[in-house]
A and B are shown apart, each in its own frame.
Chain A
Amino acid sequence: MEEKVTRPACTEGFSPDAVIRLEEATKIYSLPFGDVLALDKVCLEVMPGEFIAIMGPSGSGKSTLLNLIGSLDVPTSGDIYIDGHNTRTLSDDALTELRRDRIGFIFQQFNLIPLLTVLENVEYPMILKGRESIKGNSRARDLLLKVGLTEKMLAHKPKELSGGQQQRVAIARALINDPAILLCDEPTGNLDQATGTLIMDMLLEVNKRGKTIIMVTHDADIAAYARRTITIVDGKAT
């Protein structure tokens, strides 16, 4: 007997092929001075291969949305489906596996692991997945060379590289487990314009090869790389 599920009205017409689906996703933070509504019944459908920019003023809920899609957090109410998995029903370990296997993160601060070398930073998610092998090793190397690093840089610690180079390493790391989705939080925010353009071209290239990209930015020029822009104001998406 099939269980009858009531879907919110906003999801009418949503495709079953969507890689990301938000159904009235709401996030409320309980703070000492009262509850804060960070995200208010957001409905969103993202098809495979889309490139979406999320824009909005500070404190509008952009980061909350990205955290929810990135499975770093779960909605207070409503549902979020990533690759068919309802994140609200998943255990912490299952959410972690989802991040590891299906999502690549690119941060404004690059967020590389300072104790590991450039090569090890890229290998790390692969090792987590248990694909530690000599073959895997060459995959990380290939990827790093492909994003424009030289062989000599691979043994360096991240701090020894320029911002642009670090962001390239971060892109290689995000791609190593061949995820379906790339989540970028102000990927060019800490880079000069020329480097930022190079990084954006690289992301565009990645998107052309089929990866879904969701990018938070407040820079309209950067948002222009995306094919669709979603604006968040006061927790509501438009």
Chain B
Amino acid sequence: MIFFELSKRSIRLNWLRSFLAVAGIVIGVVAISSMGLLGSALTLSVTDSLSKVGDSVIIIPIGGNTAQNAMEMPFISDRQLQQIVRVVAPNEAVPLYVGADKIEIGSKKDMASLYGIRNEQILLMVTIADGIAPRGTSGALIGATLADKYDIKPGSRIKVGDKTIRITGVMEKQGMGFDINPDSALIVSDRWYSTTYGQDNYDQVIVKVRDINDIDTVKKSVERTLNRRDDEVAVIDTRMILDMIVTTFGQISAFTTAIGGISLLVAGVSIFNVQMMSVTERIKEIGIIRSIGTKRFEVMRMFLYEALILGLIGSGVGGLISFVGGFVALSLVLGDASYLFYPQTLFYIPYGMGIGLLVTLVSGLYPAWKAANLNPIEALRFE
């Protein structure tokens, strides 16, 4: 192909200028691809660790008539609890106390979250890695992070507030959750919590929904029953939170990708500039080839090939750097690059490359058109 050959030689002749234009495209493609890629991988990673929590509906009191006075934290009343248990059946409602207190392990002091749960419901909420669930009122389960930090084994005794408590088991590491975060917490029996802190009413209720598809029904029936007159409780389901997070991540990712797009725009301007220079420098040559029988669209093709070559090289190198860079970045940030290989993540590489190529061709369009439409006589006379 003679036109392709001419384009190739023109690029090679002006290699520095071409190299710089290509570098611009590379940067733009990398910006778009890596932003999209990282956003997608992070969303996947967060979704993954959050969805392990399972599908729960969380019922949180929001004050109103349940609070005795404005200073006091609102709580779930007995009446409300009974209503919840009734409307969510056969799904199980788990009422819990939520708090925090100082703990002492030997001479070391720390703070820990506390969850007071009915003994028979503890295993609904957590999985035990070592030991057993507390049976009476004096035992506690300890979260994996806390146990690791202070080297606590089942049978150890630690001090919570003023009381000493025996650890009956260590929970499996669970990651972040919406309902409870047991990794750095202690789970005690609800009666121990109630006597120790003098609290009679639960702080929240978690409904473990057996069938994911029932989640909306459960949510609606709780709201219908409890919020009939006033908004007494907030009903949140994990799926909703998950959706919200995914949406937010998506928006952030789109925003950063758009910023990456700006750098590609700059690259487009530089391609435009390089192509205009190429046309200006080759006016005489254009006059020659037009006079000896080269058609307008052939001249146009020659200059578009030039832009295409720059775009292909830039996009290719950019795509490659995005892949390798994404792999390294994900390995460092998430400690796991496997999210890179999901189709929805990998998609951002051809996506960035495609936009890079498109920007190059669009930028090359006007210079090519200008070259094709030069008056051959004037172009020939040009020195």
Residues of chain A at the chain B interface (Cβ within 8 Å): 67, 70, 72-73, 92-93, 96-97, 99-101, 105, 107, 111-116, 120, 123-125, 127-129, 132, 173, 177
**Cα separation A115 to B306 with both chains bound (whole Å):** 14
Whether B292 lies near A173 (C-beta < 8 A) is: yes
**Cα separation A72 to B376 with both chains bound (whole Å):** 7
Q: Which listed residue, B9, B298, B376, B380, touches A115 by the CB 8 Å rule?
A: B9
**Cα separation A70 to B291 with both chains bound (whole Å):** 8
Q: Which one of B209-217, B232-240, B282-290 is at the A interface? A: B282-290
- The chain A residue with its CB closest to the CB of B293 is A100
Closest CB-CB distance, A71 to chain B, in whole Å?
A: 9
B13 CB–A CB distance under 8 Å: yes
Contacts of B294 on A, CB cut-off 8 Å? 96, 100, 128
Whether B293 lies near A97 (C-beta < 8 A) is: yes
Q: A97-B293, A111-B291 are in contact. List 18 more A-B contacts (CB 8 A).
A: A67-B377, A93-B295, A93-B296, A96-B290, A96-B293, A96-B295, A97-B295, A99-B292, A107-B380, A112-B288, A113-B6, A114-B285, A116-B9, A123-B2, A124-B292, A125-B293, A127-B2, A128-B2
Whether B6 lies near A105 (C-beta < 8 A) is: no
Chain B CB count within 10 A is highest, among A101, A114, A129, for A114
Which residues from 258 to 289 on chain B have a C-beta closer than 8 Å to any C-beta of chain A? 284-285, 287-289
Whether A72 lies near B377 (C-beta < 8 A) is: yes
**Cα separation A93 to B300 with both chains bound (whole Å):** 13
B10 CB–A CB distance under 8 Å: yes
Closest CB-CB distance, B275 to chain A, in whole Å?
A: 16
Given A67-B377, A111-B380, A116-B6, do A125 and B13 touch, yes or no (CB 8 Å)? no
- The chain A residue with its CB closest to the CB of B285 is A113
Closest CB-CB distance, B289 to chain A, in whole Å?
A: 7
Whether B377 lies near A99 (C-beta < 8 A) is: no
Given A67-B377, A72-B376, A73-B377, do A111 and B288 touch, yes or no (CB 8 Å)? yes
A-B contact count (CB 8 A): 64
Whether A72 lies near B291 (C-beta < 8 A) is: yes
Contacts of B376 on A, CB cut-off 8 Å? 72
Given A114-B285, A115-B9, A116-B6, do A105 and B377 touch, yes or no (CB 8 Å)? no
Whether A115 lies near B291 (C-beta < 8 A) is: no
Closest CB-CB distance, A14 to chain B, in whole Å?
A: 27
User: What are 24 A-B pairs at a CB distance below 8 A?
Assistant: A72-B376, A73-B377, A92-B296, A96-B293, A96-B294, A99-B293, A100-B292, A100-B294, A107-B380, A111-B288, A111-B291, A113-B6, A113-B288, A114-B285, A115-B6, A115-B9, A115-B10, A115-B285, A123-B2, A124-B289, A124-B292, A125-B293, A128-B2, A129-B293
Chain A CB count within 10 A is highest, among B9, B13, B284, B288, for B288
**Cα separation A177 to B292 with both chains bound (whole Å):** 10
Whether B292 lies near A125 (C-beta < 8 A) is: yes
Given A114-B285, A115-B9, A115-B285, do A105 and B296 touch, yes or no (CB 8 Å)? no
**Cα separation A147 to B284 with both chains bound (whole Å):** 25
Closest CB-CB distance, B81 to chain A, in whole Å?
A: 86
**Cα separation A97 to B295 with both chains bound (whole Å):** 8
Closest CB-CB distance, B8 to chain A, in whole Å?
A: 9
Contacts of B10 on A, CB cut-off 8 Å? 115
- The chain A residue with its CB closest to the CB of B372 is A92
Which residues from 230 to 256 on chain B have a C-beta closer than 8 Å to any C-beta of chain A? none
Given A72-B377, A111-B380, do A99 and B289 touch, yes or no (CB 8 Å)? no
Whether B2 lies near A105 (C-beta < 8 A) is: no
Q: Which listed residue, B2, B9, B13, B284, touches A124 by the CB 8 Å rule?
A: B2
**Cα separation A113 to B287 with both chains bound (whole Å):** 10
Contacts of A101 on B, CB cut-off 8 Å? 293
Closest CB-CB distance, B376 to chain A, in whole Å?
A: 5
Contacts of B295 on A, CB cut-off 8 Å? 92-93, 96-97
Closest CB-CB distance, B360 to chain A, in whole Å?
A: 21
Contacts of A177 on B, CB cut-off 8 Å? 293
Contacts of A99 on B, CB cut-off 8 Å? 291-293
**Cα separation A29 to B284 with both chains bound (whole Å):** 22
Contacts of A92 on B, CB cut-off 8 Å? 295-296
Closest CB-CB distance, A157 to chain B, in whole Å?
A: 10
Contacts of B284 on A, CB cut-off 8 Å? 111
Closest CB-CB distance, B11 to chain A, in whole Å?
A: 10
Contacts of A129 on B, CB cut-off 8 Å? 293
Closest CB-CB distance, B382 to chain A, in whole Å?
A: 11
**Cα separation A127 to B293 with both chains bound (whole Å):** 11
**Cα separation A116 to B285 with both chains bound (whole Å):** 11
**Cα separation A120 to B4 with both chains bound (whole Å):** 13
Closest CB-CB distance, B55 to chain A, in whole Å?
A: 67
